[in-house]
Structure 1
Amino acid sequence: MENTRESLDVQLILRLQAGDETAFREVFDRFSQKIYGLACHFLKNKDQGKEVVQETMLRLWEHRLKLSVDYALAPYIYTIARRVALNLLRQAASSRAASLKLWESIPAYHNDTEETVLGADLERITGQILNILPPQQQEIFRLSRFEGLTYEEIAVRMNISPHTVKYHMMAALKVLRTHFNEAEIVFGFLAFSLLF
């Protein structure tokens, strides 16, 4: 599965770089619904969700020559979508009236059940991925992300150097990103914004 996905991504990237509009359509078909769902969940607005999809795909096409066959498409696309959504939020909040309207609308769209389910799923998946890490990496990740300790504080607590903490943290994050990407789950977008 992983090799098939990587091979598909490499082929799509090469075709995109060559200006193949059919490849662009395949990418659009593969990611547009996921981006739309995430954007609507994040922005609480269907029209803005459509705008995020359009802007994300436009930016992908405009910057297709910068794509690298060494990296999967999903994290790249979700990163673009996240930035577009954040820019929309900033624009909406730039005027006082828009800001007040935005804050007033948040409780109306707030869905505790959905957020609880998404949070529980993200926590479960993250926990499963963390369990495959070596014990020291697990401990460092938990101290950093769940307890909020700095690398220096972790180094003192675990009696290791801050450089070692940084090395293990980077390795743990790489494993998490890889597994989120391999699963190509909706939480990939959320995980990057919530955990990283």
Structure 2
Amino acid sequence: MHKDSEHINIEQLIKGDESSFNMVYNQYSEKVYRLAFRVLKNDEQSEEIVQETFIRLWLNRERLDSSGNMWLYLYVIAKRLSLDAYKIICKSSVLSERLLQEIHAIRNTTEEEILANELEQFTENVISKLPKQQQLIFKLSRVEGLSHQEIANQLNISPNTVKNHIVEALKTLKAQLKYSDLIYFIALVYSV
């Protein structure tokens, strides 16, 4: 879908147009599922995350920015829901306790909206300054949701090269964010 048609769909979605919601669901539900499955490794729970993500999108549609990035909105919601589900599953382990503390430290009532807008604008600016190959690989991984192996196959390079490009892109993002409160969010959302 082109960026212009995405804006139109967001505007229509904000107005409560169900066909726009259905288009957004059809376009992104599989990517939301893959994101949830990477965290939860469970079909049923991942499908629940998809449903909850789109319910939240619909219920909060009036707060969307019509010029925003729909995938980024959905990514933030789905990632948060997946991590919340994961911590419930693993609540007795030390690692999940640390994860729980990090999640609570960065939460506030308008976090999804604020972080989505700030993250989108800042990240797009930083990514646009990366070397072209790094930009492409980073976008295929983080925007399109492709695995390292899928990217490697598509670009005819090794999965290690893909990982190295992503690591370098993340280092650049983190360096650019060192004075920003978003560093914790980036570390959580964009962990390799």
Aligning the two structures, in what range does the TM-score lie when normalised by the shorter sequence? 0.5 to 0.7
| Structure 2 equivalent of residue 154 of structure 1 | none
Q: Which residue of 1 aligns with 2:71?
A: 74
The equivalent residue for 1:49 is 46
What corresponds to 1:141 in structure 2? 172
Per the TM alignment, residue 5 of structure 1 is displaced from its structure 2 partner at its CA by 2.4
Q: Do 2:53 and 2:74's aligned partners in 1 also have CA atoms closer than 8 Å?
A: yes
- In terms of Rg, which structure is larger? 1
Unaligned runs of 5+ in 2: 97-146, 151-158
For this pair of structures, how many residues does the alignment match?
131
Name the structure 2 match of 1:22: 19
Alpha-carbon displacement from aligned partner over 1:33-89 (angstroms, at most 9, x marks no partner): 111122112211000110110010000001000100221111111110000101111
Partner of residue 38, structure 1: 35
Normalising by structure 1, report the TM-score. Answer: 0.53
Q: Distance in 1 between matches of 2:173 and 2:18?
A: 44
SS in 2 for 1:194: coil
Matching of residue 117 in structure 1 with residue 157 in structure 2: no
Deviations 1:90-125 (A, max 9, x none): 22233x4xx69x9xxxxxxxxxxxx87377475355
One-letter amino acid of the structure 1 residue matched with residue 149 of structure 2: V
**Aligned residues: CA RMSD:** 4.1
Alpha-carbon distance in 1 for matches of 2:8, 2:71: 14
Q: What is the CA–CA distance in structure 1 between the aligned matches of 2:173 and 2:69, rounded to whole Å?
A: 27
8 Å contact kept, 2:79–2:189 = no
Checking the alignment, whether the CA contact within 8 Å between 2:49 and 2:81 is kept in structure 1 is: yes
8 Å contact from structure 1 (residues 13, 67) kept in 2:
yes
Identity, in percent, stands at: 25
- What is the rounded CA distance, in whole Å, between the counterparts of 2:24 and 2:161 in structure 1? 26
The CA distance in 2 between the partners of 1:27 and 1:85, in whole Å, is 20
> What is the 5 A alignment of 1:1-196?
5-94=2-91, 96=92, 117=149, 120=160, 122-123=162-163, 126=166, 141=172, 144=175, 166=179, 192-194=189-191
Supply the AA of the counterpart residue of 1:141: T
Output the CA distance in 1 between the equivalents of 2:80 and 2:174: 28
8 Å contact from structure 1 (residues 28, 57) kept in 2: yes
- Label 1:120 to 1:65 Cα distance change in 2 as closer, same or farther (>3 A): farther
Structure with the higher helix share, 1 or 2: 1
> Relative to structure 1, is the Cα distance of residues 120 and 8 closer, same or farther in structure 2, using a 3 angstrom cutoff?
farther
Q: Which runs of 5+ in 1 are unaligned?
A: 103-114, 131-137, 152-165, 174-188
